[in-house]
Amino acid sequence: MLNALKEELERNKDAEKAKVYSRFFKTGKGEYGEGDLFLGLSVPKQRKIAKNYIDLNLDEIQELLLSKIHEHRLVALMILIFKYKKNFDKEIVDFYLQNTKNINNWDLVDLSAYQILGHYLLDKDKSILYKLAKSDNLWEKRISIISTYEFIKNNKFEDTLEISEILLNDKHDLIHKAVGWMLREVGKRNLETEEEFLKKYYKQMPRTMLRYSIEKFWEEKRKFYLHF
């Protein structure tokens, strides 16, 4: 079944899109996606294919996650999400945590972190997220904050704010964007809570993080935070 999946992805590849994706996901030397290879499949196409391979076992999914081909890893995560949603199995969560270093681009993290890890931890101890937030690995840090999206959707904001504080002085643009995005999502549900955080930290927040977090504010309020 694994070979059939790989062959189906290969049959649907698009060389021109692959070139575009390679530039978009920063695969050049020294960039965050260095060495990543693309077949050039759209996300909806990959999701449609993934649904036909939900019976892949974890060893087969592991092989996909170790692949240099981006679509192999993305489809692997889609299958993992489908499997998790069938019975919310802790085995899937443990497997996910064992593979954080293979969930190694922002789209892979953003697709999967809240749907698997965030959902599982919603009513459980969340210390693993704080450990990931303090990791030296870019993707583990992004997983830590994006996982809290599931909490936000359930009007639980405390962990988002605490992890945002941990990541406040991170140097990477992808962390600035992720934190800003999650703060913005908090604000959509409880503007007062977001602004309490902003008023405490907006002068020291990286500019990108701040811009993302206030993107939906009306103009005068945006100007207040940006021109200090």
What's the confidence (pLDDT) of residue 56?
97
For residues 102-109, average pLDDT? 97
Whether 125 shows a pLDDT value over 90: the answer reads yes
- Model confidence at 128, pLDDT cuts 50, 70, 90, reads very high
137: its two tokens: 């690995």
Tokens coding 218: 């009306």
Alpha-carbon span 36 to 42, nearest angstrom: 16
Q: What pLDDT is attached to residue 227?
A: 85
Closest CA to 145 of 218, 70, 212: 212
Compute how many other C-beta atoms are within 10 angstroms of the C-beta atom of residue 124.
10
Q: Grade residue 88 by pLDDT with cuts at 50, 70 and 90.
A: very high
In the numeric block, the tokens 């593979």 are attached to 99
Asked if the model's pLDDT at residue 172 lies above 80, the reply is yes
How many DSSP H helices and E strands does the chain contain? 16, 0
For residues 16, 17, 21, 22, the Cα torsion angle rounded to the nearest 10 degrees is -20
Q: Does residue 228 have a pLDDT over 80?
A: no
**Using an 8 Å Cβ cutoff, are 142 and 109 in contact?**
yes
Domains of the chain: 1-87 (1.25.10.90), 121-228 (1.25.10.90)
Task: Check residue 114 and report its DSSP letter.
Answer: I
Token code pair at residue 183? 């703060």
pLDDT tens digits along 174-209:
999 999 999 999 999 999 999 999 999 999 999 999
Helices marked H in 51-105? 58-65, 70-87, 90-98
Half-sphere exposure for 61 (CA within 13 Å, toward CB): 23
Q: What is the pLDDT of residues 132-155, one digit of tens each?
A: 999 999 999 999 999 999 999 999
Q: What are phi and psi of 206, to 5 degrees?
A: -55, 145
pLDDT on residue 18: 97
Residue 117: predicted pLDDT: 98
Question: What average pLDDT does the chain have?
Answer: 97
In angstroms, the CA 92 to CA 37 distance is 26
Mean pLDDT of all residues in 84-96: 96
pLDDT in tens, 27-79: 999 999 999 999 999 999 999 999 999 999 999 999 999 999 999 999 999 99
Percent of the chain scoring above 70 in pLDDT? 100
How many percent of the chain have pLDDT more than 90?
Answer: 99
Average pLDDT for 109-115: 98
Quote the pLDDT of residue 206: 97
